[in-house]
Amino acid sequence: MIEIDDLHKRYGDKTALAGVSFAVKPGEMFGFVGANGAGKTTTMRILMGVLAADSGQVRRDGRPLTFEDRRKFGYMPEERGLYQKMKVSEQVQYFGRLNGMSAAQAAKATADLLERLSLTGRAGDEVGALSLGNQQRVQLAVALVHDPEVLVLDEPFSGLDPIAVDALAEVLVERRTAGVPVLFSSHQLDLVERLCDSVGIISAGRMVASDTVEELRAREGRRLLKVVVRDAAPGWTAGLGGNITEKGDEVLFTDVNGSDQEILRAATKAGTVEHFGWERPTLTEIFREAVA
Amino acid sequence: MSGLWLVARREIATRGRTKAFVIGLVISALLVGALAFLPKLFAGPDSYTVGFVGPSTLQPALTGAAKDVEITVKPFADEAAARKAVLDGDVDAVVVDDRRVFADGEVDRELGLLLEGAHQTAQAGRQLAAAGLDAAKVAEAMRVAPLEQVSVGADTRYAGARTGIATLLVMLLFFQLLQPSMYVAMGVVEEKGSRIVEILLTSIRPWQLLGGKIVGLGALALLNLVVVIVAGLGAAAISGFASDMPPGIGGVVVSTLFWFVLGYAFFATLAAALGSLVSRQEEVSSVLTPMMMLIMAAYFVSYFAAVEPGSPVARILSMIPPFSSMVMPVRTAAGEVPLWEMGVAAALMIIATAAVLVVGARIYERAVLRTGARVKLSEVVRDGSAVAR
Ligand SMILES: Nc1ncnc2c1ncn2[C@@H]1O[C@H](COP(=O)(O)OP(=O)(O)OP(=O)(O)O)[C@@H](O)[C@H]1O
Ligand SMILES: [Mg+2]
């Protein structure tokens, strides 16, 4: 388990992190979301040891993280960096070897990864000759080549086409299933919602939510009541509590405050109730609500 | 340690495969090889073709006397044929009846001396024989040992060659110290600017990354230096210049390699530390200015030392680091250096290099992960908490 405990970081008199804490369990995919400048990259750089926190700690299974721990992590920094003049396959192998793989292991892992990321045809090209999206795939291969025990990826999906998004998602799910904690940041909330077990929302250097997706939705869920009544007499909602939005037969109630059963009775009286239930908010809605 | 070797190997493979490196290697080897032929070109030819008209007693005296010079003899039937051969440049001179010499213009100075000497010997022998002396006794009496030259000052027999070699060494060391150090700085900035250093430093330690880069690029520079030296000595052997070279050239080579390794470690580490302060290639040359000035200063002093190896300035600066890394090998090539001066120079330079390695590695470690604007040296030195490691 990776624990981030009460991180604080200031740049001059600007506070970037003001007490960030969350945990990523083995076999859990954790989506790290937040507005631009909220502190995601800062948190991840501290986690990877390329930036020092002013205070706070990062632990693995209760012990503070060491260099040796981090060597076994797979890291994709926000600002992509590759040797432009080095060939794709050589470059991925080089990073495998730096992480302690033998030449043969690195060669095999590289070939497998390039295959999965549809880069086999470009293996002998210089990285600089690749399109941005393909360079991004090489960057992923570099993060994944040594079969990391933990994955820390800063916006890994940005700049990828839908096919590559699926390929990467597949790789991440596979790693997660193998028991690897996966932490990634993203602005693509639908993707986070689809892939992640847990989500952490950061706003202005503070965690405003951190929980499983189910839990977050359930907690935020009792806000929007959707009722559909066929052949209802107009004005049946008059006098009912909450904010009301009508659209044809469909009526949305917010801020119901416990008057849901009263609404149900009124609906039954008004006509044939076709739908009555709480709307599950999307992650986007939860996010908007949380950072507002 | 393996991390360091992996980095070094990558540097060697990447830089060693570039056209710039290969072309630089070939050109510098050719250039130095060509220079080894230069003294012989200026010194004039080692062989002459001399024609003879009529029987000659001068001829055996000439071919017998000349030891360092090769003389080819060509007989001619008459004067007309001889004149034509001289004008066509087939022969350097023609001796006619042991009495006259034909040449195109003046006779070559060295050949003239040789001919005159042979003429004296032959003529004196003939005249003594005519006076009734026994031919064998005459020959015996004519055998004279040459004058022995003794210098009561410094041994200046090889002064010219020494100065030449030392001057060449100045340029060689200057380029082989400056260029790879620049490459080290550019490599550091490439990694910092592209942020690749963030991934690298989660896999290996800063000293492995820095050390690997310095070792790898240094190995290439050393290879370049060795190739140039071998090319120079090889060409000298072929051109015949080797026989004019001062004794102890092996010592000069060893001293050059020794001082190169120290000097390179010093300047390359300095370049890496300065380079790690900036993030863009455009800023490299400005941030390297102090190092460049140091190398330039060493370069000028070395030139002076090549010409005046015994002057107080050369003697003192050849013991002060980092100037010693260039001045001392140049002085060693240009003249005799007392052993104690070499010892002091080496000890001081080793201490200085070790200090630069320690301080430079620390600056690099603290600055290389600081992104954004140029890092101030004072900030790095003061604040050690930039990165948790
Ligand atoms: N080197 C720096 N110097 C000064 N301030 C910085 C530096 N790096 C980050 N910051 C500030 O710290 C805050 C957090 O930045 P961070 O990069 O962590 O945000 P982020 O959540 O990753 O944003 P984004 O979604 O845009 O990537 C921002 O206000 C940013 O301006
Ligand atoms: Mg970011």
Q: What is the pLDDT of residues B222-265, one digit of tens each?
A: 999 999 999 988 888 887 777 777 777 888 888 899 999 999 99
Instruction: Determine the distance from the C-alpha atom of residue A124 to the mean position of all C-alpha atoms in its chain, rounded to a whole number.
Output: 33
Q: Which of residues 147-166 of A touch B (CB under 8 A)?
A: none
B126 or A45, which is more confident? Answer: A45
Q: Is the CB of A186 under 6 A from ligand 1?
A: no
Q: What is the pLDDT of residues A229-245, one digit of tens each?
A: 888 777 788 877 778 88
Q: Which residue has the higher pLDDT, A284 or B288?
A: B288
Shared-domain flag, residues A146 and A174: yes
Ligand 1, atom 30, residue with closest C-alpha:
A37
Residue with CA closest to ligand 1 atom 4:
A11
- Cβ under 8 Å to A: B residues 358-387: 369, 371, 385-387
Q: End of a domain among A191, A212, A233?
A: A212
Question: DSSP H helical segments within chain B, as ranges?
Answer: 2-16, 19-35, 38-43, 58-65, 79-88, 109-130, 135-142, 159-193, 196-203, 206-239, 249-275, 284-287, 289-307, 312-317, 324-334, 339-367, 377-382
Minimal CA separation from B311 to chain A, in Å:
49
pLDDT band at residue B120 using 50, 70 and 90 as cut-offs: confident
Q: How far apart are the C-alpha atoms of A104 and B275, rounded to whole Å?
A: 35
Check whether B37 has a pLDDT greater than 80: no
How many other CB atoms are found less than 10 A from the CB of residue A105? 16
Cα–Cα distance measured from residue B140 to residue A275, given in angstroms and rounded to the nearest whole number? 138
pLDDT at residue number B157: 64
The answer to whether B6 contacts chain A (CB < 8 Å) is yes
Q: What residues of B are in contact with residue A98 (Cβ under 8 Å)?
A: 3, 6-7, 200, 203-204
Q: Express each pLDDT in A55-103 by its tens digit.
A: 999 999 999 999 999 999 999 998 888 999 899 999 999 999 999 999 9
Q: Is residue B167 pLDDT above 80, yes or no?
A: yes
Residues with CB under 5 A from ligand 2 (ion): A 40-41, 78
For B51-73, what is the mean pLDDT? 79
Task: Report d(CA B141, CA B133) in Å as an integer.
Answer: 11
> Are residues A220 and A202 in contact, defined by beta-carbon separation less than 8 angstroms?
no
How many CB pairs below 8 A link A and B? 70
Residue A118 contacts B, CB cutoff 8 Å:
no
Which residue, A212, A235, A270, sits at the end of a domain? A212
* CATH classification of the domain holding A202: 3.40.50.300
Nearest to B323 by CA among B341, B296, B342: B296
Pair A265, A153 in one domain: no
Q: What is the pLDDT of residues A211-232, one digit of tens each?
A: 888 888 777 666 778 889 888 7
Between residues B12 and B38, which one has the greater pLDDT? B12
- Percentage of chain B beyond pLDDT 70 is 92
Please choose, from the candidates A20, A14, A3, the residue with its C-alpha nearest in 3D space to the C-alpha of residue A203.
A20
- In this structure, the answer to whether residues A67 and A125 fall within a common structural domain is yes
Domain boundary among A212, A231, A264: A212
Task: Answer whether A39 contacts ligand 1 (Cβ < 6 A).
Answer: yes
Closest-CA distance, A83 to chain B, in angstroms, reads: 8
- Weakest mean pLDDT among A257-261, B84-88, B303-307: A257-261
Straight-line distance from the first to the last Cα atom of chain B, in angstroms, rounded to the nearest whole number: 18
Ligand 1 atom closest to B372 (CA) = 1
User: A120 and A44, same structural domain?
Assistant: yes
Q: Cβ contact (<8 Å) for B195 and A81?
A: yes
Q: Which atom of ligand 1 is nearest to the CA of A14?
A: 5
Q: A239: burial class by Cβ within 10 Å (0-12, 13-18, 19+)?
A: exposed
Whether chain A has a CB inside 8 Å of the CB on B127: the answer is no
Number of domains in chain A: 2
Locus of tokens 């029987």: B55
Burial class (CB in 10 A: 0-12, 13-18, 19+), B359: middle
Domain limits for position A53: 2-212
pLDDT (tens digit per residue) in A38-60: 999 999 999 999 999 999 999 99
- The per-residue pLDDT for B387 is 46
Are the beta carbons of A169 and A191 closer than 8 angstroms? yes
Burial B185-206 (b: 16+ CB within 10 A, else e): bbbbbbbbbbbbbbbbbbbbeb
Domains of chain B: 2-39+157-382 (no CATH), 45-142 (3.40.190.10)
Q: Note whether A169 and A108 are same-domain residues.
A: yes
- Residue A16 CB–ligand 1 contact under 6 Å: yes
Look at B195 and A85 and tell me if their CB atoms are within 8 Å. Answer: no
For residue A14, how far is its CA from the centre of ligand 1 (angstroms)? 10
Q: Please tell me the predicted confidence (pLDDT) of residue A222.
A: 63
Ligand nearest the Cα atom of residue A14: 1
Q: Does B1 lie at the interface with A, CB-CB under 8 angstroms?
A: no
With an 8 Å Cβ cutoff, is B191 touching chain A?
yes
pLDDT in tens, B263-285: 999 999 999 999 999 989 899 99
Please check the confidence at residue B147 and state whether its pLDDT lies above 80.
no
Higher pLDDT, A196 or B138: A196
A245 plus A130 within the same structural domain: no
A30 at B interface, C-beta within 8 A: no
Q: Quick one: pLDDT at residue B41?
A: 65
Output the pLDDT for position B386: 46
Q: The CATH number of the domain where A285 resides is what?
A: 3.30.70
Using CA coordinates, name the residue in chain B closest to A90.
B10
In terms of Cβ atoms closer than 10 Å to its own Cβ (0-12, 13-18, 19+), residue A277 is exposed
B chain contacts of residue A86, beta-carbon cutoff 8 Å: 10, 14
> Based on the domain organization, do A149 and A226 belong to the same domain?
no
pLDDT score recorded for residue A82: 92
- Residue B309, pLDDT > 90, answer no
Q: Which residues from A are below 8 Å from B386, CB to CB?
A: 52
Closest residue to atom 29 of ligand 1, CA basis:
A37
| Most confident region among A27-36, A157-166, A203-212 by mean pLDDT | A27-36
- b/e for B296-310, b at 16 or more Cβ within 10 A? eebbebbbbbbebbe
B205 touches chain A (CB under 8 A): yes
Over 70: is that where the pLDDT of B40 sits? no
Whether the pLDDT of residue B62 is over 60: the answer is yes
Is there an atom of ligand 1 within 6 Å of A38 CB? Answer: yes
A49 closest CB neighbour out of B195, B202, B371: B202
The pLDDT, as a whole number, for residue B385 is: 47
B183-204: per-residue pLDDT in tens? 999 999 999 988 899 999 999 9
* A85 and A166 share one domain: yes
A286's enclosing H/E stretch is helix A283-291
CA distance B327 to B319: 8
Number of CB atoms found within 10 A of residue B249's CB: 18
**Are both A111 and A93 inside the same structural domain?**
yes
DSSP for B157-168, please give it. TTHHHHHHHHHH
Task: Tell me which residue of A228, A288, A283, A280 sits closest to A252, measured CA to CA.
Answer: A228
Lowest-confidence region among A179-183, B314-318, B381-385: B381-385
Contact between residue B49 and residue B75 where contact means Cβ atoms under 8 Å apart: no
Beta-carbon contacts of residue B235 (< 8 Å; ≥ 6 apart): B32, B33, B34, B35, B36, B37, B241
Predicted local confidence at residue A104, as pLDDT: 95
d(C-alpha A169, C-alpha A196), whole Å: 10
* Residue-level pLDDT at B220: 94
- Residue A121 and residue A151 in one domain: yes
B126 touches chain A (CB under 8 A): no
Distance, CA of B200 to CA of B207 (rounded, Å): 12
Query: Are B349 and B325 within 8 A, CB to CB?
Result: yes
Percent of chain A with pLDDT over 90: 62
ipTM rounded to 2 decimals: 0.83
The mean of the pLDDT values for chain A is: 90
Q: Which residues pair with A278 in a beta bridge?
A: A225
User: Residue A224 forms beta bridges with which residues?
Assistant: A254
pLDDT computed for residue B324 by the predictor: 92
Above pLDDT 90, what percent of chain B? 35
Best A41, A98, A132, A151 member to test B by mutation, with max B CBs in 10 Å, is A98
> Nearest residue CA, atom 7 of ligand 1?
A11
Chain B positions touching A49 (Cβ under 8 A) are 201-202, 387-389
Whether residue B98 contacts residue B58, with contact meaning beta carbons closer than 8 Å, is answered with yes
Are residues A91 and A232 both part of a single domain?
Answer: no
Distance from the Cα of B177 to chain A's closest Cα (Å) equals: 25
- Flag whether pLDDT at B54 surpasses 90: no
Residue with CA closest to ligand 1 atom 24: A36
What pLDDT, on a 0 to 100 scale, did the predictor assign at position B13? 93
**Do A108 and A35 fall within a single domain?**
yes
- For B47-65, what is the mean pLDDT? 81
Closest-CA residue, ligand 1 atom 5, reads: A11
- pLDDT category at B388 given cuts 50, 70, 90 is very low
pTM of the complete model: 0.79
Higher pLDDT, A288 or B373: A288
SS3 B348: helix
